Amino acid sequence: MSLCLVIACMVTSWIFLHRWGQRNKSGPKTWPLVGAAIEQLTNFDRMHDWLVEYLYNSRTVVVPMPFTTYTYIADPINVEYVLKTNFSNYPKGETYHSYMEVLLGDGIFNSDGELWRKQRKTASFEFASKNLRDFSTVVFKEYSLKLFNILSQASFKDQQVDMQELLMRMTLDSICKVGFGVEIGTLAPELPENHFAKAFDTANIIVTLRFIDPLWKLKKFLNIGSEALLGKSIKVVNDFTYSVIRRRKAELLEAQKSPTNNNKVKHDILSRFIEISDDPDSKETEKSLRDIVLNFVIAGRDTTATTLTWAIYMIMMNENVAEKLYSELQELEKESAEATNTSLHQYDTEDFSSFNERVTQFAGLLNYDSLGKLHYLHAVITETLRLYPAVPQDPKGVLEDDMLPNGTKVKAGGMVTYVPYSMGRMEYNWGSDAASFKPERWLKDGVFQNASPFKFTAFQAGPRICLGKDSAYLQMKMAMAILCRFYKFHLVPNHPVKYRMMTILSMAHGLKIRSTAPVSRRNLHTVTGDHLSVMEDVKGKEIIDEAPIDNKVSDEMESEENAIKKKYGGLLPKKIPLISKDHERAFFDSADWALGKQKGQKPKGPLEALRPKLQPTPHQQPRARRMAYSSGDTEDSETDNNESPDDQACASAVDNTNLKDDGVSDGCYSSTYWYYTMLSVRRMFREHIIRRGRWYIRRLYSWFFNLLMQSYWEEMEDRKVKVYDKLSEKAEKVLEIGIGTGPNMRYYAARNSNVTLYGLDPNPKMKKYARKSATKAGLKTKNFRFKLGVGEAIPLKDNSVDAVVATLVLCSVSDVTQTLKEIKRVLRPKGVFIFLEHVAAKDGSFFKRLQKLLDPLQQRLADGCHLTRNTRECILEAGFSGGVEVETYSMYSFPWITRPHIYGLAYN
């Protein structure tokens, strides 16, 4: 016993001294053994902005990790030293190669030495070829017009589209045609499902996670978790890639037999690599060609499509930029038509045929030389790349111990990462307006001027500078010219815009837009509806930039916005949270209810320390966690006496693009936030938790849990969209179990504002907030009915609703079987039960054993949530006569212990 006490004291002293030694340290705080892994992991989904915060005050940040040390740099002097001056000491390195090998193999982006030089030499020769340039121009124009036709169809039907998805299809088709000489047709009018792109993106995410996951090699060895999914994704990727290679080799062989076809098949890059290979049919050659193909895919598809997506978003957010770009395109059209004696067709924006004829005519005027005259468009794209570089950070290995020009020492075996995302936002690189979107910074007397490649690093610099830079600009300018000349874009209201943590800076939820022909350019590219874009200055203060509704902004709002901008200067885009101010107030009022505050009494207790300083972490809390809130208090049963039976349920159809609330989070990562959090927790423990422990856990669990689960809710968002999209538009009455403050109202109101919705929740204080959310989402007040109760005893009549929705509820109810019986009872014949739940892992698996071990603790700390509940079997055995459709999938965000999930439909 005494020995254990001595060891405990020694360990505690060690940790204390370690932490004490960092009290004045500017970089991330570290812990013994794990380094800064904890802080990096908790900030993984916002890592780029996390680095901005540190690099703003220190141009170099050292981040120790369990098995290596990362040194992040944003000073052009250090960047030039790494990328050029001492290039040989900073290769990709074995560490980076091991992370990315499963996806990129030994391709040009993941190789060093002679192998890299050989690939670069061949690719350099091809990119310098005029034949490839002319061929690329024709292909880029062809697929830009195909994209435009799809937008035209959507515009004439007033439909929204995911612009990022369409651009990914366009660039994939283009790179396959230019790079590999094959037509794959993903941009066909019917938009066929693209299994390769989905698998490629999944693999990209998982290999990125390897950089902070110290157990990935163990998971790979055991073939479990994310590494198991990675293996399945890579199989899909390889099947597609090898099919492209074999198809191209067959076409080359056919061309050799028929000399008349020879000219048709030799413009692409893959053909060149096949021709110079010693044995094209060997497995080693096919593997090498596979690596080359995938490296060119990530270069030609992902980077270009991502940049175009962010460029369109920034144009929508900056009306003055849109006006100037439109004027430049009009002027080019006029000059080109006069130079070629072309008579421009008149067109009617309401006539699909004449409109597209004029677009095709304009595209015919575009070529390599004419696109070179679009200096402002070039500046718009470059400014987008400055703030949203396609590759936000690029790590390099360290071969030998070295010292950077600013005096930072780096050790052999470590990693040095230059960070284009941060470099573009640093005032010491770009001046006081560094965070502003300002294409004019690239122009001098109307002519584009380049910046140092060690300052603007979107295309790398030094010996590894991007070979496809000119080709990328050519495609982006071609697409932007055709799209922005004839269309203005509107962001779908409440659509969340934030990046996804991948090697490429893509948008996590795509870019949902509507496009309209420009009847008037005065209001071009403005956002309709209440869209909130959360920005923060480099010192961590958040600002809300709210787009006007129909361009009408009161003088008071304008003056307030100007005052904010004057006070904070540059703005930095930050991830957009999914929680509103109403939900914040709901949290505090619900907590006051838990504390016993009643009928106008002043709030008391430690929450008052929190109220003025912070609000809950972004993303809605799961409604299931509030299912156990009910007590003997039957205040306000919420059953209106004058309601008819037919008014006691509801249904809806959901547009799968309105994904977020319109709220913001205020200072979630500041030191003030943590100071008040810890102060309040201490007071709460002293004053209340000892006395009312379980009472508090039930009411405050969701808020504290959300501090750790932000990435979980973001990953869950896409699944929830699919769940709500299953609701039939014919459904008239829907019941949602665990409605809470109504964070899901936006799903119901998106398609049908006349839907009648019943929300069941055991917390009576949720009523006013749920009603407010319903009104804000566009639901009519008379069509929303709040019901006080639990799933085991639903206060509705038999056969009274068309659909029941439950997301993350059945894991926490006291009796799953009884809840399912109640759901069947209230459902009408042919009604549907739509569910999304986390479930127990497979019997005998490691995860199942771990879940059993942690389940008792989970139930006590997580408000009754069960880790080992076999919800899938319960639903299958519940007796839904119409059958059950269920899909199993895995979630890889924290908490990993709840990884297995299901969603589906059960028909009554």
pLDDT tens digits, 752-791: 667 888 999 887 877 887 888 888 877 877 888 888 888 8
List, in order, residues 6 or more apart from 486 with CB less than 8 Å away. Answer: 148, 355, 358, 359, 362, 517, 518
User: Where residue 485 falls among pLDDT bands split at 50, 70, 90?
Assistant: very high
Mean predicted lDDT score pLDDT of the chain: 76
Q: Which two tokens stand for residue 745?
A: 């109202």
Mean pLDDT over 618-632 rounds to: 37
Domains along the sequence of the chain with CATH: 2-118 (no CATH), 119-394+403-512 (1.10.630.10), 529-573 (no CATH), 621-659+687-907 (3.40.50.150)
H and E: helices and strands count for the chain: 32, 21
**Residue 215 pLDDT level (bands cut at 50, 70, 90):** confident
Which runs of E-coded beta strand occur in 745-880?
756-761, 784-788, 801-807, 827-838
Give the confidence band of 267 by pLDDT, cuts at 50, 70, 90.
low
Q: Which residues contact 297 (CB under 8 A, 6 or more apart)?
A: 172, 175, 179, 200
> What is the three-class DSSP state of 418?
strand
**Secondary structure of residue 488 in the 3-state scheme:** strand
CB atoms within 10 A of CB 729: 12
- For the cut 80, the answer to whether the pLDDT of residue 12 exceeds it is no
- Look up residue 160 and give its DSSP letter: -
Percent of the chain at pLDDT exceeding 90: 31
pTM of the model: 0.59
Q: b/e map of 174-194 (b: 16 or more CB within 10 Å)?
A: bbbbbbbbbebebbeeeeeeb
Which candidate, 711, 794, 724, 798, places its Cα nearest to that of 759?
Answer: 794
Can you give the pLDDT at residue 731? Answer: 77
Mean pLDDT of 531-555: 39
Coil, strand or helix at 288: helix
- Single-letter residue type at 429: N
Over residues 673-682, mean pLDDT: 48
**Digit-coded pLDDT (tens) for 811-841:** 888 889 999 999 999 999 989 999 989 899 8
Would you say 466 is a known binding-site residue?
Answer: yes
Record the tokens describing residue 377, joined without a space. 């468009």
Residues in the chain, how many?
Answer: 908
Q: Which residue has the higher pLDDT, 415 or 1?
A: 415
Residue 303, Cβ neighbours under 10 Å: how many?
Answer: 25
Query: In degrees, to the nearest 5, what angle opens at C-alpha 631 toward C-alphas 629 and 632?
Result: 165
pLDDT reading at 391 higher than 90: yes
Could you give the CA distance from residue 288 to residue 122 in angstroms, rounded to a whole number? 14
Q: What is the mean pLDDT of residues 560-579?
A: 42
DSSP letter, residue 35: B
Q: Write the DSSP symbol of residue 10.
A: H
Question: Residue 701 pLDDT > 60, yes or no?
Answer: no
Cα gap 695→598, rounded to integer Å: 16
